[in-house]
Amino acid sequence: MRQLILLLTVLIGTILMSSELKAQLITTPMASPAAVVKQELGLSWVKISYHRPAVKGREIWGKLVPYGLTTFQFGKGNPAPWRAGANENTTITFTDDAKIEGQPIKAGTYGLFMIVEPEEWTLILSSNATSWGSFYYDEKEDVLRVKLKPQTAEHKEWLEYGFDTITFNSVNAYLHWEKVKVPFKIEFDVDNTVIKNIENQLRNTAGFTWQGWNQAASYCVRSNTFLDKGEEWAKKSIAMNENETNRNIYGYILLAAGKNDEALKVFKENVKKYPDSWNVKDSLGEAYKTLGDKKNAKKYYEAALKSAPENQKDRIKKALSDL
């Protein structure tokens, strides 16, 4: 009896092992390979993950990719858009809140679908970003829909997503396949994102140094935004360690905020406190130029030019010639 039980155990184990081996899948190259494109704007990122089908001599629009919605015999059975690629969901990820064609979209990852028509396409972002294709598409999961205009373009054998027309806070994403290119504009509120990031950094090690507060104020000057915060941060830097660098930034903050008399007072004080600094003279010249006082602007630009480093002299000479 024991021998029979042992024999049966071995046979069952062999059958199970055989079934597992048959169930194993071998990884081979996909006909539509995976791709990822990513674009940075400020501190934010947008990323599109997709699979790239090829034309292979086929008629694409209205044939391989039907116009309108398609009802599949399997899946959820709902009329579904094109998966905007091949294989599993095409997805788009935003690290921060953004806008697509002017419409707001929260940070996150979304399934990207398209309703294709001859004259107008509809881009759909879905909260479902983990399905295979659009077989289980559900309109109730739509987060955003925007209308897009397809453009005639040079032949593109393999479907491609990409980015062009980049500005400080926006970029045009596009889908390009066969002889059709469909762009859509993506925007981030770069300054707001940077300021929030700066505030977080100032709660860490950067907040224990005058340089950290000064660099934060400098961003406000360069971007001409959040000047009230910039003034607060500049004052904090000065309180920690007053020097020509942070006092100069404080002057620029006041000037950008339209507090001209206060700004001029600070720049003048800087020249008195740091008489050997070419930089404070240059800044006072720039302040006078901004306020329309060409005579004094010329006076302090010329004073700065005498001791300015070589890599600054051409800029100061140009400022003088502009006067």
pLDDT for residue 151? 97
Top mean pLDDT of 17-31, 125-139, 203-217 is at 203-217
What is the pLDDT at residue 313? 87
- 21 pLDDT higher than 50: no
Q: How many CB atoms are located within 10 Å of the residue 153 CB?
A: 14
Residues 284, 29: Cα–Cα separation, whole Å:
65
Q: What is the pLDDT of residue 134?
A: 84
Which tens digits make up the pLDDT trace of 163-197?
999 999 999 999 999 999 999 999 999 999 999 99
CA pair distance 217, 227, nearest whole angstrom: 8
pLDDT of the residue at 24: 55
Q: What is the pLDDT of residue 16?
A: 41
CA distances from 141 to 87, 138, 160, 258, 279 (A): 20, 6, 26, 48, 58
If you average pLDDT over residues 71-86, what whole number do you get?
84
What is the chain's length? Answer: 323
Residue 66 — φ and ψ, nearest 5°? Answer: -65, 150
Tell me the pTM: 0.81
The mean pLDDT value for 84-106 works out to: 96
Task: Name all contacts of 63-66 with Cβ < 8 Å and 24+ positions apart.
Answer: 65/116, 66/116
> Contact at 8 Å (CB) between 87 and 80?
no
The DSSP line for 18-68 is: HHHHHH-------SS-EEEEEEEETTEEEEEEEE--B-TT--TBTTTB-SB
Query: Which fold, 191-322?
Result: 1.25.40
Q: Would you state the pLDDT for residue 74?
A: 72
Burial of 79 (0-12, 13-18, 19+ CB in 10 A): middle
Please report which confidence band the pLDDT of residue 15 belongs to, taking 50, 70 and 90 as the band edges.
very low
Per-domain residue ranges of the chain:
34-188, 191-322
Q: What are phi and psi of 274, to 5 degrees?
A: -130, 65
